[in-house]
Structure formats: C-alpha cells, structure tokens
Amino acid sequence: MRVTVIDYKAGNLTSVLKALRHLGAETEVTDGDLALVEKAERIVLPGVGHFAATERLDATGLTPAIRAAIARGVPFLGICVGMQWLYAGSSEAPQQPGLAHFAESCTHFAESKEKVPHVGWNSLEVRKGSRLLAGVEPGEFVYFTHSYKAPVTADTAAVTRYIEPFASSVERGNVMGVQFHPEKSGATGLKILHNFLSWEGKRTGQAKGTE
Amino acid sequence: MITKRIIACLDVHGGRVVKGVQFVDLIDAGDPATQAARHAREGADEIVLLDISATHEGRATLLDTVRRTARELFVPFCVGGGIRTAGDAAQVFEAGADKVSVNSAALNDPMLIDAIGRSFGAQAVVVAIDARRDPQAADPVRDAQVFVQGGRKPAGRRVVEWAREAEDRGAGEILLTSMNSDGMRTGFDCELTAAVSEAVGIPVIASGGAGTVAHFVDVFGRGRADAALAASIFHFGISSARSLKEELAKAGVSVRLPC
C-alpha cells in the first residue's frame, strides 16, 4: 500500500520512512505538493521538534489539503507533534493553530520533581475498541520523548501516566494519533504501524467506533 | 510507569566497534551494524554509537556506518563523535540517527547546542560530558572537571555548571561519563551522577564503570540516573541487556520487560 508522508521540515523523517518501508509500504514524501495529498491513500504526519514548525503546513497549503483528505475518509496517523497538531493548538506555540479535529489543546507537563522532557519507555493503558492499538497487551512499552501532551478525553485511545495521566494515543474515525514514536518502539511499535497500514479505512461516518 | 533505560554503547573506530580501558588500549569488538542489531534483539532500550576516531577523513566511513546500523534498528539510536556543526548533525540525522551527542565542539562553541536544538528539536540533542574528579580538590564532586579530546585535555569547566548551561541552551539529555571509572568495571560514579541529575531538569544518562548488576541498581538509586550506558559488560557475552534487566527488576528497578 502507498503512504504519503508529510514533511514540514521539523526534524528528520528517516526513521518513520524506514519503519513504514520495513512493513512493506510504498512511501512518498511531500513538503507542499498538494496533488500528492489529494491522491493520498494513507497519510502519516510525523513530527519531532517544536509545535511552531507546523506553521509550514499552513504556509504551503497542506493544512486544507489534509483536512479535505480526512473528510474523504483517508486514514491519517499523526505522530508526536503530528498528533498534537490534530488538536486546537499547543501552549508551546500559542499563536499557531492546530487542525482542531479534536477540540482540546495540548499543554506542558505540570511542574513537578520529575524530569521533563518525558524521555524513555513507558506503558500504555489501551482503551477498548482501539483499532490502532489492537493486540497491544498490558505491560507492553513504547518510546516517548516530549514535553507537551494532550488531555485525556472521550477520543483517547490510550492513557499513559507520567506526572499526570495524558493521552498517549487518540482515535476517532479515520483519524489517529500517537504521542510516542512507534518507529522507535521495537516490535510493539511495528505492530501499531502495521495496524494503521492494514486498517481498511471506511468513509467518514461509517467508521466503527465513536463516530 | 516510566522505566529506567539500559543503553548499549558502541565505541567505533574506523568503522569497527572497539573497547579500551580509560579510552586507550583498543580491542576490536565487531561490526557496528551487527552489534547494534544484536543488542536491540537482546533487549537494549537504546543504542549509542560513538565515533572515537572522529576525524574529518573518517566522516564518510561514519555516515556509512550510521546508515548501515540504522537500517533495521527500531529502537532509539544516538550518534556522537566529531559533530562540529549543525550541518554535521544534519548529515548524521539523514543517515538515520534519532539523536546526536555533542561534546568537545559544544564546549568550543556552546551555540552549537542551540543551533541543533532549533533545527531538530531538543529531544535530538544529547550533550556528552567527560568528567574527571581531582581527588586533591576541596570538593571532588562540585569541582569535577570537564575533559575534551577523548579525555586528554581539561576544558576549564566544572561538570555541574556545564550541565546546567547545556540544559539552558536546549539540550534534551546529558550523557555523563566518569573518566575515572570508564572501562574499570568498578561501578558508576554515583555521587557525581546524582549531583548532575539534581542540578538539571532533563534526563541524565550515567556512563563509565558498569561491571555488575549491583552497579546499575546503585546508579538508578543513589545516583538518580534516568538511564545507564554499558559497553564492556555486554561486548564479550558477559551479560545481555535482557538478563541485566531481569536482575534489575528483581532488585525493584522499573525496566522495560519483556523486551
């Protein structure tokens, strides 16, 4: 299957592309070619770095193109900052709006004696019905590295605890996000990416789950 | 619950893994890509590759090594050695690294930390500090000195202060190597690790001196380390990351298991 990977020049895509190809996906990268997004079968928005970098998605016209693709029912996966972008915004860059597919906003971890960024392998409390995290057993770990996080809501697919519970995965219809890095999370991460790649994809409104 | 990371470190010289005692007397320990894959398979939470030759002539060899090593590696992968500019870092990221570690070049030009962090995010910048205690100093921990050039030359900076500055400039993690204990298998420098870990809000990776499971328990407890690096403990089949983590779990340390 073909996956369109969005490059917004924040950090490097190598690891994500490598993992997708390892799973048999054919990948194409765009940093502004809207035609590729219009024809996309599946979209991955990776992301390491600063939320402000998502400004480039607006500047290149990718934001409305992605919004339209999502409305068409194209399976979409946002990783790390790519997940945070699905929300209304982040306190990391308050002037920069997100896609607002999910109404809430991302915030910095609360002050505590714990280290921030949250770096390392942590566990997932997977909620029932998640297609992305199907087959992920309690006690499996994934790799995180982030200082901002999304709140736990009805759309949360998995909760992780660090300083406070936060949404380590979100899922509604064809739109999915993970705060962790599946491309860096060993066999568990590859299983999650495989779930994304093998999900059939239904038109919006017909998707199983909360819609 | 966040787990303590066990990081396998490969010191690479001329495209081969090597191991020395206190940075000298190098022994050949295999092919980097093969070794990295084995460590990941055997439960290492992360792989660090340090190019200890780090010459300009060796850049192409290093990038080739990084590319080969990254190809089938699906755990975090950090590369250090000879990264002098944000451009050097960009090449290493493009070859497949997730993080770079900077050492001497950051001491010469601390803005390098800011520059890499701006382009690739703080999570991608590890500041490596080679620390040496002077037993004669009034306060050996507070006065521990940063060394550069593979531990040959004092940088004229105190370890704890430099770690704080690195954090302020946007480093995502500190990799602290005790030169006094490196390769000795007599245990980590827990006092110095704890001093650095308490001084900064970012994760600290302890390095230098791993020899037994008890050393790891100690550095995660008393040493307040968030991760620990091991090289010689694994290379010659002494132990795998998995068996080390199984022992750590028995000792009450939270680790990623099964792995």
The strand pairing partners of B79, in sequence order, are B49, B100
Three-class secondary structure of residue B142 per DSSP: coil
CATH classification of the domain holding A81: 3.40.50.880
Share of chain A above pLDDT 90, in %: 86
Per mean pLDDT, which range of A25-29, B89-93, B195-199, B237-241 is the poorest?
B237-241
**Domain with A182 in it:** 2-198
Are A160 and A126 contacting, i.e. CB atoms less than 8 angstroms apart? no
pLDDT band at A204 (very low <50, low <70, confident <90, very high): very low
Average pLDDT over chain A reads 93
Mean pLDDT of A149-172: 98
> Is pLDDT of A201 > 80?
no
Cβ–Cβ gap B124/A48 under 8 Å: yes
> Is pLDDT of B105 > 50?
yes
Are B230 and B19 contacting, i.e. CB atoms less than 8 angstroms apart? no
Are A97 and A196 contacting, i.e. CB atoms less than 8 angstroms apart? no
Chain A positions in Cβ-Cβ contact with residue B94 (cut-off 8 Å): 12, 14
Are A176 and A77 contacting, i.e. CB atoms less than 8 angstroms apart? yes
- Evaluate whether residue B134 is within a structural domain: yes
**Among candidate residues A87, A48, A56, the one with its CA nearest the CA of residue A172:** A87
Cβ–Cβ gap A190/B1 under 8 Å: no
> Is pLDDT of B56 > 90?
no
- Show the DSSP H helices in B200-258 as ranges: 213-221, 232-235, 241-250
- Evaluate whether residue A114 is within a structural domain: yes
Compute the 3-state secondary structure of chain A and give helix, strand, coil in percent, each to the nearest 5. Answer: 25, 30, 45
Chain B positions in Cβ-Cβ contact with residue A123 (cut-off 8 Å): 1
Pairing of strands A76-79, A175-178: parallel
- Show the DSSP H helices in chain A as ranges: 14-22, 34-38, 55-59, 62-72, 81-84, 186-198
**B3, B95, B96: residue with CB nearest A120:** B3
**A14, A116, A162: residue with CB nearest B94:** A14
Per mean pLDDT, which range of A27-31, A125-129, B16-20, B60-64 is the poorest?
B16-20
- Evaluate whether residue A206 is within a structural domain: no
CATH classification of the domain holding B10: 3.20.20.70
- Evaluate whether residue B146 is within a structural domain: yes
Per mean pLDDT, which range of A145-149, B24-28, B228-232 is the poorest?
B24-28
Q: Which amino acid is at B64?
A: D
Give the contacts of B181 (CB within 8 A, at least 6 positions apart).
Answer: B187, B188, B189, B208, B209
- Evaluate whether residue B259 is within a structural domain: no
Quote the longest CA-to-CA distance of chain B: 49
- Evaluate whether residue B85 is within a structural domain: yes
Chain A positions in Cβ-Cβ contact with residue B4 (cut-off 8 Å): 120
The pLDDT score that the predictor gives to residue A206 is 40
Three-class secondary structure of residue B55 per DSSP: coil
ipTM exceeds 0.90: yes
- Of A80-84, B49-53, B229-233, give the range with the top mean pLDDT: A80-84
- Evaluate whether residue A208 is within a structural domain: no
Three-class secondary structure of residue A153 per DSSP: coil
Nearest Cα of chain A lies from the Cα of B162 at a distance, in angstroms, of 18
pTM, rounded to two decimals: 0.93
- Evaluate whether residue A90 is within a structural domain: yes
The pLDDT score that the predictor gives to residue A12 is 74
d(CA B26, CA A137): 43
How many structural domains are present in chain A? Answer: 1
Cβ–Cβ gap A10/B98 under 8 Å: no
Cβ–Cβ gap A184/B120 under 8 Å: no
- Evaluate whether residue B257 is within a structural domain: no
The pLDDT score that the predictor gives to residue B25 is 67
Q: Which amino acid is at A179?
A: Q
Angle formed by the axes of helices B59-70 and A14-22, nearest 10° = 40
**Domain with B214 in it:** 5-250
Cβ–Cβ gap B259/A186 under 8 Å: yes
Provide Rg for chain A, Cα atoms: 16
- Evaluate whether residue A79 is within a structural domain: yes
Nearest Cα of chain A lies from the Cα of B152 at a distance, in angstroms, of 31
The pLDDT score that the predictor gives to residue A50 is 84
Q: Which amino acid is at A119?
A: V
How many structural domains are present in chain B? Answer: 1
Q: What number of H helices and E strands is found in chain A?
A: 6, 13
d(CA B37, CA B202): 28
Compute CA distances A13 → A28, A145, B90, B142, B215, whole Å. Answer: 11, 16, 12, 40, 37
Q: Which amino acid is at B174?
A: I
Cβ–Cβ gap A119/B226 under 8 Å: yes
- Evaluate whether residue A209 is within a structural domain: no
Cβ–Cβ gap A122/B3 under 8 Å: yes
Chain A positions in Cβ-Cβ contact with residue B226 (cut-off 8 Å): 115, 119-120
Angle formed by the axes of helices B86-94 and B111-120, nearest 10° = 40
- Evaluate whether residue A204 is within a structural domain: no
For chains A and B, CB pairs below 8 A equal 96
pLDDT band at A203 (very low <50, low <70, confident <90, very high): very low
Average pLDDT over chain B reads 91
Give the contacts of B32 (CB within 8 A, at least 6 positions apart).
Answer: B10, B12, B15, B16, B17, B49, B65, B68, B69
Q: Which amino acid is at B228?
A: A
Per mean pLDDT, which range of A172-181, A201-210, B45-54, B81-90 is the poorest?
A201-210
Residue of chain B with shortest Cα separation from A111: B201
Are B70 and A14 contacting, i.e. CB atoms less than 8 angstroms apart? yes
Share of chain B above pLDDT 90, in %: 70
Interface of A with B (CB under 8 A): 10-12, 14-15, 18-19, 22, 48-50, 115-123, 139, 141, 143, 145-147, 161-162, 181, 183-187, 189-190
- Evaluate whether residue B255 is within a structural domain: no
- Evaluate whether residue A88 is within a structural domain: yes
